């Protein structure tokens, strides 16, 4: 036997002895035993991926992703206060439908636009005269086109203090509507509309669970939020998957939040960014985070306990 072959045999013998000495740590799993740990490994990879996307942004990124099946949350700066931009309109919409449910206002009652409420920025009403629309239609414009004039009409209709009182009642102590849309003087005074990634996620959970809203009411509100819109979050999700969302943007701020109805594994994602050196970096981060979340939850929804993608 050659010296080289002798060394190989000796190596195999030593490896076998080591395996025996190691005992149960190297015992193969039973064929009937689930592949324990693979879903946990996927979850850990997902958490790392989220953090890596956020860390690359020249600015501040907070997020809260909620698995609506298990309740698991993936968070970064979950309790830090950020400007909401137009994502505060989620709170206004909630108050509008809550008051309608209580009989305090009629969603389909015609209301002629008062030009005193008209402001520029996003939307179309500023360019029009004095159209007559229902509160429901103003809400559609607020959500789909992020129409700032429609938003101010609704703030006047429901009352700013009532929005904040309702949010307080939901336990959202940092979510505050402090100014109307395009009120730069108020913003310079520090009267910014604010919330946290965690609280916006909890507001979306209230929509999803119908907290404080009866089933027909919450269904009508979600129908508006599911309407198509320009959203970085939605861009990362296939068009066949419904998303109830509301994005927002200000100088150096990009925000998006929504419920993504992945079959068998719906989830909530809220991303809030501020102090952005380049606004497009925040937009890209939201899209990348949304894509990572969709890819993770769609695999959970389609997969068996072993990770086989049976229903893909």
**Model confidence pLDDT, tens digit, residues 33-52:** 433 478 889 999 999 999 99
Instruction: Spell 19-56 as b/e; 16+ CB within 10 A means b.
Output: eeeeeeeeeeeeeeeeeeeebeeebeebbebbeebbee
* Best CA proximity match to 268, nearest among 70, 60, 48: 70
* Best CA proximity match to 93, nearest among 147, 145, 163: 163
Q: Give the span between the Cα atoms of 152 and 246, in whole angstroms.
A: 17
CB atoms within 10 A of CB 101: 18
Query: Do 54 and 76 touch, CB atoms closer than 8 A?
Result: yes
3-state secondary structure at position 305: coil
The residues facing 195 across adjacent strands are 82
Read off the pLDDT of residues 116-172 as tens digits, 9 standing for 90 and up. Answer: 888 988 888 988 999 999 999 999 999 999 999 999 999 999 999 999 999 999 999
Helical axes 89-101 vs 215-225, angle rounded to 10° = 150
- Better-scored residue on pLDDT, 311 or 16: 311
Residue 279's Cβ-side half-sphere holds a number of Cα atoms within 13 Å equal to 9
pLDDT of residue 214 exceeding 90? yes
Query: Do 180 and 155 touch, CB atoms closer than 8 A?
Result: yes
- Better-scored residue on pLDDT, 186 or 22: 186
Q: Which tokens sit at 141?
A: 């414009």
Beta strands in 190-241 (DSSP E): 194-195
> pTM value?
0.86
Q: Which tokens sit at 159?
A: 């009352």
pLDDT of residue 277: 98
Q: Where are the domains of the chain?
A: 36-302
pLDDT, average across residues 235-259: 97
**Alpha-carbon separation of residue 291 from 51, 71, 233, 297 (angstroms):** 14, 20, 8, 10
Query: What's domain 36-302's superfamily in CATH?
Result: DD-peptidase/beta-lactamase superfamily (3.40.710.10)
pLDDT of residue 21 exceeding 90? no
Q: How confident is the model at residue 28 (pLDDT cuts 50, 70, 90)?
A: very low
């Amino acid at each position: 036997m050659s010296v080289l072959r002798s060394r190989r045999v000796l190596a195999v013998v030593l490896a076998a002895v080591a395996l025996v000495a190691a005992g149960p740590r190297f015992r193969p799993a039973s064929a009937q035993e689930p592949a324990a740990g693979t879903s946990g490994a996927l979850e850990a990879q997902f958490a790392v991926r989220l953090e890596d996307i956020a860390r690359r942004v020249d600015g501040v990124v907070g997020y809260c992703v909620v698995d609506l099946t298990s309740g698991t949350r993936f968070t970064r700066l979950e309790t830090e206060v950020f400007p909401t931009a137009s994502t505060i309109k989620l709170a206004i919409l909630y108050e509008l439908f809550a008051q309608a449910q209580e009989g305090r206002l009629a969603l389909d009652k015609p209301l002629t636009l008062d030009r005193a409420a008209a402001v520029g920025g996003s939307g179309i009403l500023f360019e029009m005269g004095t159209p007559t629309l229902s509160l429901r239609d103003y809400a559609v414009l607020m959500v789909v086109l992020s129409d700032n004039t429609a938003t101010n009409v609704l703030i006047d209709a429901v009352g700013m203090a009532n929005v904040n009182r309702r949010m307080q009642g939901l336990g959202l102590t940092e979510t505050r509507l402090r100014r109307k849309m395009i009120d730069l003087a108020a913003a310079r005074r520090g009267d910014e509309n604010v919330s946290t990634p965690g609280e916006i996620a909890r507001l979306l959970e209230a929509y999803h669970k119908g907290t404080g809203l009866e089933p027909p009411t919450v269904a009508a509100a979600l129908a508006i939020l599911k309407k198509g819109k320009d959203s970085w979050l939605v861009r990362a999700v296939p068009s066949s998957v419904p998303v109830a969302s509301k994005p927002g943007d200000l100088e150096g701020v990009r925000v998006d939040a929504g419920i993504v109805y992945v079959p068998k594994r719906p989830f909530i994602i809220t991303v809030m960014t501020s102090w952005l050196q380049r606004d497009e970096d925040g937009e890209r981060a939201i899209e990348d985070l949304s894509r990572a979340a969709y890819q993770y939850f769609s695999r959970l929804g389609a997969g068996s306990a072993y990770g086989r993608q049976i229903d893909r």
